[in-house]
Chain A
Amino acid sequence: MKKRLVTQIAFVVTLHGYTGCITGGSEPAVAPTAAPTPTLPTPSLPGPVVAPLEGAAPALNVYEAPLPEYTPGPVSRPAQRLLDKASEEWKRQRREQALALLDRAFRIDSQSTEISLRHSEYYFEMGQYSKAENWAKRAMGNSDVTAAQMSRAWQLLARTRYKLGDLEGAQKALKEAQI
């Protein structure tokens, strides 16, 4: 009887863990997936994480916050089709397939800022921060980059630098993102 009770408690705890109740997070529940999820390395930063902007004092770690809402820039029709397919695959947790579709899109439209940004976002989500950083930089260098896309690229750069332990670089990037 006692053993059964322990098992039930363990089950409830596990369930809460999945729904985020234990950590108190407000993120929606994430279903367990077939594809392995890369673990994010914990950056070793000097001292506590602080708000990066002068005069601002947000309670939340801005580098861990979800990327702000963003309206994507223009993309050619065939590339958009591949980006849409990549999104579908990404939602289905088929990450390698999603990246392969982004590669195809990049091959047909390598000057598209949107495709570079998407690469950066996906690599960031996968915990591959150096790749995410390079793709964000690549997006910034395009001649047709819009102000919104530039800001998005800086946002991504700020987060990747933070994850890579470059707090100073992250702060600079975040500042650029808000100009």
Chain B
Amino acid sequence: MSKSKNIRRALAIGLIFSLSALALLISLAAKWDHEAKEAFSSGLWQLPSSVYARSLEVFAGSPVGQPQIVEELQRLGYKQEENPSSAGQFAIKDSNIEVFTREFTHWEGIEPSQKAVIIFKDGSIEDIKSASGDMIDIIRLEPPLIGHIYPSRKELRQLVKIAEVPELLVKGLIAVEDRDFYSHHGVDPKGIVRAMWLNLKAGKITQGASTLTQQLVKNLFLSPEQSFVRKFREIIMAFLIERRFSKQEILESYLNEVFFGQTSAGAIHGFGLASIHYFGTELKKITTSQMALLIAIVNGPSYYDPIRHPERAKGRRNIVLQLMEAQGVISSSEMQSAIASPLDAQAKRRRASHTHPAFLELVQQQLMENYSANDLKSAGLRIFSSLDPRSQELAENSVRKFLKDHKDIEGAFVALSPQTGDILALVGGKDSQFAGFNRALAAKRPIGSLIKPFITLAALQEGKNLASLLSDDPINIPLSSGKTWNPTNYDGENHGQVPLILALAKSYNQAFVRLGMEIGIEKVAKLVSSFSNSEIPSDNPSLLLGAIELTPLQVAQAFQVIAGGGFSIQPRSVLAVLDSNGTPLKRFEQDMKQLLDKDKAILTQYAMSAVMHMGTGATAALPSGFETSGKTGTTNDYRDSWFAGFSQDLLAVSWIGRDDNAKTYLSGATGALKVWSNFMKDSNSKSLNFHNFSKMDVKSISMMTGKPTDIACPDAIQIPLNTEVTLDPSSECVSSLTDPLITSFHEHQRAHPLIGKQP
């Protein structure tokens, strides 16, 4: 009695336990099913936005030399061949380059792939010809990928539709990874037995038993841990997914999900991106041997990495080819031919190995005005930026090289086109790869003597000219606090009466404070405020020596108006945005406005060129004949070292300082100018042309007296003046001139005299 009672009790407990387990299993299955359904229906992947640099325009007359084109092609992952036969290849033939460009979708349409010969002469492009010998006016290369705006997981992929994937690749993948894919229901018992048998025969693990569906489940939903529970969940989920989705859907998801390895830019996922990553070509264009290599890599992305372990990868590729042949996917001769072919993976990977976090931050800032943070991180936008990779590398190198021996001193650099407002380079600190405090955008620092060109401009607007005499005598300015401000010169000297152009070149503080007080602090503040698009308080005379705080980008924006001939153009880092399918979404136009009379801008440019010849910028190590304009800036106790300067098509601002605002012991000339000139000398930019002033008078002025003098006098410097300007009578030559910089500028002008308005 008691025994049968115990049996019944045990049975009851067993039944309750079984029912509970079943209920638990059903509820787990329902949860996992829901999870899978949700994941598939809401889009499996968050696609990071891709940010591209500018596209290089190649045309006759462009000052780009052969080395720069080769550099760009290498940056884009083009392969150097004897005879380019497919897109993404080039050859160097004597002084010419033969290139087979890739097709690319730009904002205004598709740039087709084409074969061309670029002919160089004297360091620039002389002509471009097609394969048939016809003249080509212009070629646009695809833009280099410079980075991504990521979701939380740094996964990179290029989605492919199953219809776009070569049939041979699909067959090969199934033959190797899951030969019963079309007949099983997520789990393949036959495959498990077969794998066990083969592994037993080989004495090692040569084949796995997971189906493609199981692998997909593992990659999408599960952690990499090896446990019974995890395996159980994998099997159940694979079964559920097979019930809910078609084989084609599962296959497409697998092709886009599978992991191909890690790069500094992020994890490579999917065959679409893997093809571009390893072969520099689209998936639909790869060869049998390349397909086999990709299938081989799937088995162990690090172990079979074709770049680091080419022999190992080749061995696995050949096994894949043999399996494909054994299952009738390819013929024996196709297998032999593929086995004989080289590995073909790129020696230099074309994913962005250099990131530019400072520039990417600016891109995000600009885009946040138009797109949500979520869209930027997950909608797969294609963002076309203004970054010039060569300028960026030059800028990074210049900052790093100068600061490598200066512990705790930081730097920032901005380069832009004064004509278009395109930001070409941006460096936020000496470690340009570190996405930390971005000094180019966020470090507001006093600008010091960089204010002086703007005071010069305000003076020109008030009727002064570059020969106007300023008093550089000591000055006392009573402040609202009751104290008195006594600004002094850098050299501690008083220079008496000096022409405006010389006061700017030598950066005389006393002369400029006097001039600024005469014009009015408010006018100067208003001018700088409108140029830099920032709020400038006008309640303190120390503004006249640059006691106003601006970021390097704001400084660049302010100087752009002078360099751009009086037209203000809002600096831009983003040119256009496409969606993930290549459909145009938005184009960012040049926002241009005239803020200044062109003649005043030109006169200020000229006065700033005198800084480079006979003033504080004269130590710039630039190539002979390369005319630039610029200005140094140094703040109290050498806390900030600035330089802002430009050529015809390039403006750059350099800042050096410490984050804790301590002394650097560097002036504008001994710090920032060196970084700037190191950048400019290799920039390939166009020299300013101050030779011909067809709408102005040109007069020779004594730098000692400020009066007109004979051009032959050693103190004579030629100055352009508005035609309505009348000057005091001529003065005699001053023979006691001892400033070698003025002498040098004078001699330069004797060799290259200015031409004024013809009577």
Contacts and interface: CB of A to CB of B under 8 A. Distances in A.
Interface in A70-85: 76-78, 80-82
A77 B60 contact: yes
Contacts of A106: 419-420, 590
Contact of A100 (B61, B565, B576): B576
A33 B566 CA distance: 38
Given A108-B59, A110-B419, A80 B137 contact: yes
Contacts of B278: none
Contacts of B57: 78, 104, 107-108
A50 to B, nearest CB: 28
Interface in B50-104: 57, 59-62
Contact of A134 (B59, B62, B138, B593): B593
Given A81-B137, A96-B587, A100-B576, A137 B59 contact: no
Size bracket of the B interface? 20 to 34
B627 to A, nearest CB: 15
7 contacts: A81-B138, A89-B108, A97-B107, A103-B575, A107-B422, A137-B594, A141-B565
Contacts of B39: none
Given A76-B61, A89-B108, A134 B567 contact: yes
A63 interface: no
Nearest to A82: B138
A107 B109 CA distance: 18
Contact of B420 (A76, A110, A135): A110
Given A103-B589, A141-B566, A141-B598, A97 B59 contact: no
A111 to B, nearest CB: 8
Interface in B253-267: none
A134 B594 contact: yes
Contacts of B59: 77-78, 108
A138 interface: yes
Nearest to B567: A138
Interface string B679-700: 0000000000000101000000
Contact of A97 (B108, B417, B594, B692): B108
Interface string B649-667: 1000000000000000000
A106 to B, nearest CB: 7
Contacts of A76: 61
B584 interface: yes
Contacts of A111: 419
Contacts of A77: 59-61, 137
B649 A110 contact: yes
B17 to A, nearest CB: 69
Given A134-B567, A137-B567, 9 more contacts: A78-B60, A96-B584, A100-B576, A103-B590, A104-B140, A131-B592, A135-B592, A137-B594, A138-B594
Contacts of A81: 137-138
A150 interface: no
A169 B107 CA distance: 37
A141 to B, nearest CB: 5
